[in-house]
Amino acid sequence: MNKLQYNNLHSYCSQSVKIICGLLITIYCMPVISQAQEKWNSKHILVKNGQLKYVPDEKGNIIPDFSRVGYMENAKPIPQVSVVKTVSPSGNNDQLMLQAAIDEVSKLALDKNGFRGAILLKKGTYLINGSIQIGTDGIVLRGEAEETKLIAAGKGQRSLIRVTGNGQRKKIEGTERKILDKYVPVGATSFTVVSSEGFKKGDKIVVYRPATEKWIAAIKMNEIDRRDSTIRQWKPGEYDLHYERIITHIEKNKIFIDNPVVMAMEEQYGGGEIYKYSFDGRISKVGIENLLCESEYSGDQDEDHGWDAVYFNSVEQSWVKKCNGKIFWLFLCKLRSSKQKHYCVRL
């Protein structure tokens, strides 16, 4: 990307970037703010009586309020799920034993809160030569803090714990509704559609923002310098944005959503639309807690060992809590972001 392209991209995204930077600065400085609330101020944020108030710019953009993200939209604490199965390490390969325990609990009925129960891994070291899999709702894998150690033993790039649903998000055809506003600012939680008929409070929708040819040209991403053979120009449709939201209420044709818009939608660049969706294979209410995960390796140049400790794919309303990881090549917790919703990682 040359300097002109960078400047164009920066110019287009500057409002969002400034807003996000303001949020980061606010978080970093929060201890100071709490001590001197009356003196501290910002162009984008006001702090009064311990509360944040977001100040819109000339286009109505504000810092997106994500106070409703996380497990159960941050309205409920992560529960302490009752133990229904307890296991202890054997000193040998424990993969089959742990998987059998998970499979056993997977067959239990869900309780009224949507959980089957927790599997308690007593303290000790569990050797795992492959991966252990959780593929159904309502299971918690819980250790006894760092005294419960899971080792990704031997060779192979893989996740130590895989929490995976299946399938894809699917648009419900015929539910598309065009957004009529000429400009929907960053941080907005409402907009007007051509018709709200067929929609109601509680509906799960996608807010869709297309990456049109005109928008790509405006930020010069169709003129990227060809520094090498891997460089390719952006094409319409490749950077479309699809945000999952829930309708909180409706006023005539005005739709209100649970979490904000994070990139402005402009009529001149294709605007946006909403549609209903289904995701039947996604699982929920799975927890990974109180574990120390570690990978074996043969040296600093070794890449053929544990890749990440915990992997989430097609999961919602779930969490990773009080876990630690060592010597994995990539992540403690890897999230397939396009398929997740309302999860919490609390270290």
Asked if residue 236 lies in contact with residue 212, where contact means CB atoms within 8 angstroms, the answer is: yes
Which residues of the chain are under the pLDDT cut of 70?
A: 1-41, 336-344, 346-347
Report d(CA 271, CA 101) in Å as an integer.
50
CA terminus-to-terminus distance, the chain: 37
Residues 34-43 have pLDDT tens digits of 554 456 668 8
**Single-letter amino acid code for the residue at 328:** F
Q: What is the pLDDT of residue 176?
A: 98
pTM of the model: 0.80
Q: H/E/C letters for each residue in 35-78? A: HCCCCCCCCCEEEECCEEEECCCCCCCCCCCCCCCCHHHHCCCC
Measured from the Cβ of residue 187, the count of other Cβ atoms closer than 10 Å reads: 22
80: phi > 0 → left, psi -120 to 50 → alpha, else beta; which?
beta
Tokens 């509704």 -> residue: 177
Helices (H) and strands (E) in the chain, counts: 4, 26
Break the chain into its structural domains and give their ranges.
3-63, 83-168+283-346, 170-278
